[in-house]
Chain A
Amino acid sequence: MKERLEQLKQEALQKVEQADSIQSLKDVRVEYLGKKGPITEVLRGMGKLSKEERPVIGQLANDVRENIAEAIETKQTALEDAALEKQLEEESIDVTLPARPVQVGGPHLLTSIVEEIEDLFIGMGFEIKEGPEVETDYYNFEALNLPKGHPARDMQDSFYVTEELLMRTHTSPVQARTMGAKNGSEPVKMICPGKVYRRDTDDATHSHQFTQIEGLLVDKHVRMSDLKGVLNAFAKQMFGAEREIRLRPSFFPFTEPSVEMDISCKVCGGEGCSVCKGTGWIEILGGGMVHPNVLEMAGYDSKEYSGFAFGMGPERIAMLKYGVDDIRHFYTNDIRFLEQYHKA
């Protein structure tokens, strides 16, 4: 009996080894481990055995059974793995074929620049203020030290709606409105971006509509050196830590002293080239200390309070930073233009 079991085991293991499919493996299982299989038969014939032999043979029969079952199990896993591998191989694709496109849009270049500037100033504790694009003559001009008949109004050829209403020519009226709302007592620290309008014929460098972003800080003891420090911090973050700034005297009716800020030319590093017209510097913004008349008109005591203001044109910055060569690109919305700056 012992020999018989050994023999069955050898036979079964060999058949397991030879099985080449799940089905044939199943057949082996049925054949050897099934209820009608030879091992069951052996066990059934155990009654004939002596009392001593019975547990020995029983143990052996169980071991044989387990050995066979284990072998089937192992073989089964191997066959399944092979089958899966084969199937996966058949499923293989050309991964270099083009993807199904996901529609992705993006921001307009001017928005990217405006938001970048906004975020820089938010980081310095400024808030964002907005105001109407159709302004009163008072806020657009008079509150900014440009009374009726002032020669500097020549500089601002404007689109009037009525005698008293016009398309704002700068975002400065937002500053006048914000200051006016503070009753002359609280500090102001703000940035105002927005659309502005001038009576210009559209060409490569002029646009009747463009964008401005202006800043204002009013408080006690605001110094011109603070303007220099804030603009320097802004310029280095916006244009690169290696860029230098330079302030030059200038004139604006709403600031005194007034400044124009240049940054060192990126192209030539200040040596002088065609981009900076040989000067090594590129004009980037205007500003100055808020004119006492502007402070007084907004209700501040100009002896006690002082402030600085500055303004710049995102179109100009975009043109300098990215080399955009025609201001009309910003408004014709050519998809080939828009898509270029989605990572800007």
Chain B
Amino acid sequence: MLVSLNWLQEYIDVSNYSPDELAEIITKTGIEVESVEPVAEDIKGVVVGYVKSCEQHPNADKLNLCQVDVGTETLQIVCGAPNVAQGQKVAVATPGAVLPGNFKIKKTKLRGEESHGMICSLQELGIDEKDVPKEFADGIFVFPEDVEVGANAVSLLNLDDLIIELGLTPNRSDAMSMAGVAYEVAAAIDGTYTLAKEQVESADEKASDYISVQVEDSEANPYYGAFVIKNIEVGPSPLWIRNRLTAAGVRPINNVVDITNYVLMEYGQPLHAFDYDRFGSSTIVTRRAEEGETMVTLDDQERKLKPEHLVITNGKEPHAIAGVMGGAESEVQDDTTTIILEAAYFSPAVVREASKDHGLRSESSTRFEKGVDPNRVERAGKRACELLQQYANGVVLDGVVAHDELDRSEKQVTVKTSIINDRLGTEITNDQMADIFRRLQFSYEQNGEEFVVSIPTRRGDITIFEDMLEEVARIYGYDNLPFTLPEGASQAGGLTLPQQLKRRVKAYFEGAGLHETITYSLTHKDKTALLVSPEVQEQAVSPVGLAMPMSEDHAYLRLSMLPELLESLSYNVARKQEDLAYYEVGTVFISEEQEVTKQPEEVLRASGAMTGKWTNHLWQQDKKAVDFFVVKGVVEGLSEQLGLSFSYEKAKLPSMHPGRTAVIRSAGKTVGFVGQVHPKVQKEFGLKETYVFDVNLEELFRQYEKEETFQAIPRHPSVSRDIALVVDENVTAGAIASTITEAGAPLVKDVQVFDVYQGEHLEEGKKSLAFRLLYMDPLRTLKDQEVEEAHNQILAAVKEQHEAELRG
């Protein structure tokens, strides 16, 4: 809502406040002032001039040579505007004048002729192109004849006004009018304002002799009032109306349209004028549109109507979509003499539906959608009649022809001072309460601390106690509320175990050298098929898609964080940042339905992606690229953090390198995977060798058990023994290590691979694996013989299970 300060000042005295002070007060009492801007910045030296003569420039076809009387002198001015003519009163920027943009006017020569200033267009004076009346859009502005030559054009055109822009919240539609703003400002500064009474002199002739009104759906249209005004002379409206419309951001058109728009801005009540002679009947029938019915609106568009829409008809054809837009056929034109002026109340829901369906949001529809003040509907009609009488020579016929089932009653809300204080933490007295209601102009009946407040119909947003609580609080001043802390029973705040573990896991990854990332949960459909952990793939029947995505890139819910993580790597690599170790902790969305009907399961997982060099110590020439075992190390560290023991099983997964991928199991469950991204997928993302992991944190957290006992630190020495085994190259180190652990139990405490060899000293298809075994008994020192026995058992077991031979 744009509020002209000059206009506001006419309703309520705000001259004691600077514009900034006023803006601050309005903001703090309830409506945010978004800006305070001048209509046009820094204009000076523009006066009204009279064009005494206008001849063609001797040396230029498109220029005119004008002699312009500016009161003190007559200036020769070269003017290129096509509409300049002798006898006009125009805005002249005299030499020394300054126009917006710090454009200084100087005496100059144009094609050999002297020019002492400039005749201005409205645009040149800083008026927004869209607010300039059409007749002046392509040329200079021409004043009405009655302005005085030499007068200050800046104030005549209201260019010295300030515009306060209000950011209205949806509940404060009462401030979508100058009257509403004046009531609000009056409450805020404790000033006085009441909407003035309308003054209409009616003719003897009765409006009801010209028109009748029939309403079919009274719920959608509880009030429809028709005024009839005859002898209208359509022409430009007076300068002050045009100025105010311009200030409000509405383009002036002609007096009839301008007056309906002016009252819209003043009262917040949309009005519509039909050309009586073009309306086609003397009966107004408002009804729901018929399926398939069409009409052409003011903007010359053919509109298809639906039964949800309310239309104003002449008994046959629709002439307006109620509250949204009038019809082209009965539009007021230059030759219009008699008009029907509509002042109506249309149901907010009905108008919202129609404006949405037709994509038409206008100053009118937005006000109807929020609900207009029932007590201002008819008054707005009268106000328009008053102005039409004065500024369009209209003769207002007696009476308003109306269908009227409108509820104009004021709602009552009961407020107790003690409850207000209990909810606000204040010590407001009954007298202060009464004073707040007086400022708001809410009438009330007081009984001790109890106030039964009648809510004016302009404040449709107030219906319950809490609404009054806000009114009291904001007028009392949010600034004046004390600072207190809650007094209820205290509880120990804190993190739940999974929340603690989540933080610990993140800290671990970061300590391990990975950077946390956050990627989008919504991804491209193709990406939902990439890098999905096998247990997720098994459970998820179909990826979950949005009904109406904004773009294909963010149309489906992720089943894995990895594709977007690779996207992040790719973004960096493209910017020459090539050594990257990223992780993300977040949810994936699993639906077990083909056609989604219920919320997908959201599972917390951790994913990581690494590429480039892992260590790079330049001067020691020590470089190491990320490989499978680096990323496996990160995963292993995670298992240690959580006190779990992961096992790895070689696996072939789609979009993963078939020879360098393992699924991860923990406590018998598949919890994720680790490995190298398939080179084809790497290539799609523009990446070189890239390793990833993805684990189900939620499952790991379930498996986590807090250590709550003490294990004695062993006091007896351990014995370490090495063995080198020759096995078939397909036998995995993991399998042999398990056999060793099993066969060596309970003395073998640790098995480490310390050498892997395949080559010339071995038979083709064989490899050698060397293990270091740690034997220990926490309660005593082991004897050589015991170790020897266990060792032999182990050798027998690996031979039996893996055909492993001791390497000679």
Contact = CB atoms under 8 A, between A and B. Distances in A.
Interface in A187-222: 187, 189, 195, 197, 199-201, 208-209, 217, 219-222
Contact of B517 (A108, A201, A233): A108
Contacts of B479: 246-247
Interface in B1-49: 27-32
Interface stretch (A13-21, A50-58, A77-85, A325-333): A325-333
B478 A248 contact: yes
A336 interface: yes
Contact of A330 (B30, B518, B547, B582): B518
Nearest to A257: B470
Contacts of B517: 108, 333, 338
A334 B571 contact: yes
Given A101-B617, A106-B510, A335-B580, A161 B545 contact: yes
Contact of A97 (B510, B619, B622): B619
B597 interface: yes
Given A100-B620, A222-B488, A335-B572, A105 B545 contact: no
B589 A104 contact: no
Nearest to B491: A125
Q: Size range of the interface on A?
A: 35 or more
A102 B494 CA distance: 33
A249 interface: yes
B274 interface: no
Nearest to A130: B499
Interface in B504-531: 506, 509-522
Interface string A121-139: 1111111100011111000
A339 interface: yes
A30 to B, nearest CB: 40
B568 A333 contact: yes
Interface stretch (A36-44, A66-74, A151-159): A151-159
Interface stretch (B112-120, B155-163, B167-175): B167-175
Contacts of B31: 249
A330 B517 CA distance: 8
A225 B424 contact: yes
Interface in B156-191: 169-172
A230 B618 CA distance: 52
A291 interface: yes
A149 interface: yes
B486 A217 contact: yes
Given A125-B491, A135-B599, A103 B512 contact: yes
B422 A104 contact: no
B129 to A, nearest CB: 25
Contact of A133 (B495, B521, B545): B521
A249 B503 contact: no
A169 to B, nearest CB: 13
B340 interface: no
Given A103-B581, A106-B515, A219-B486, A331 B520 contact: yes
A220 B514 CA distance: 46
A107 B518 CA distance: 10
B496 interface: yes
Interface string A90-123: 0000000110111111111011000100100111
A226 B484 CA distance: 5
Contacts of A102: 513
Interface in A207-261: 208-209, 217, 219-226, 228-230, 232-233, 246-251, 256-260
A258 B479 CA distance: 14
A289 B616 CA distance: 56
A274 interface: no
A133 B600 CA distance: 9
Nearest to B471: A257
B554 interface: yes
A297 interface: no
Q: Size range of the interface on B?
A: 35 or more
A334 B572 contact: yes
Interface stretch (B138-146, B379-387, B461-469): B461-469
Nearest to B575: A334
A282 to B, nearest CB: 13
A160 B555 CA distance: 11
Nearest to A163: B547
A165 interface: yes
A162 interface: yes
A332 B483 contact: no
A292 B484 contact: no
Q: Which of B422, B478, B547, B554 has the most CB of A within 10 A?
A: B478
A167 interface: yes
A178 interface: no
B542 to A, nearest CB: 12
A105 B581 CA distance: 8
B482 A228 contact: yes
Nearest to A188: B491
B568 A127 contact: no
A23 B478 CA distance: 93
Interface string A305-344: 0100000000000000000000000111111101100100
Nearest to B616: A101
A323 B339 CA distance: 59
A271 B383 CA distance: 45
Given A208-B554, A257-B466, A228 B489 contact: no
A100 B568 CA distance: 27
A152 B173 CA distance: 13
Contacts of A223: 422-425, 484
Interface in B539-582: 544-550, 554, 557, 568, 571-572, 575, 577, 580-582
A195 B521 contact: yes
Interface string A254-297: 00111110000000000000000000000000000101100000
Contact of B513 (A104, A111, A160, A165): A104
Contacts of A155: 170
Contacts of B484: 223, 225-226, 228-229
Q: Which of B466, B512, B602 has the most CB of A within 10 A?
A: B466
Nearest to B472: A257
A100 B469 CA distance: 65
Contact of B169 (A134, A187, A197, A250): A250
A206 to B, nearest CB: 11
B496 A161 contact: no
A209 B546 CA distance: 14
B482 A225 contact: yes
B473 interface: yes
A100 B624 CA distance: 12
Contacts of A219: 486, 488-489
A135 B516 CA distance: 26
B767 to A, nearest CB: 31
B196 interface: no
A230 B546 contact: no
Interface string B58-90: 000000000000000000000000000000000
B286 interface: no
B779 interface: no
Contacts of B617: 98, 100-101
24 contacts: A101-B616, A105-B583, A108-B517, A110-B518, A121-B493, A122-B494, A127-B491, A127-B493, A133-B602, A159-B546, A162-B597, A165-B599, A187-B488, A189-B486, A209-B521, A220-B488, A224-B424, A229-B485, A232-B483, A246-B479, A249-B29, A333-B519, A334-B575, A335-B515
Given A105-B581, A229-B486, 10 more contacts: A101-B616, A134-B600, A161-B544, A161-B545, A162-B597, A199-B550, A209-B554, A222-B486, A249-B29, A249-B473
Closest 7 CB pairs of A and B: A103-B513, A225-B425, A257-B470, A251-B169, A223-B425, A219-B488, A333-B568
Interface of B: 27-32, 169-172, 348-349, 352, 369-370, 422-426, 464-467, 469-470, 473-474, 478-479, 481-496, 499, 503, 506, 509-522, 544-550, 554, 557, 568, 571-572, 575, 577, 580-583, 586-587, 589, 596-600, 602, 614-620, 622
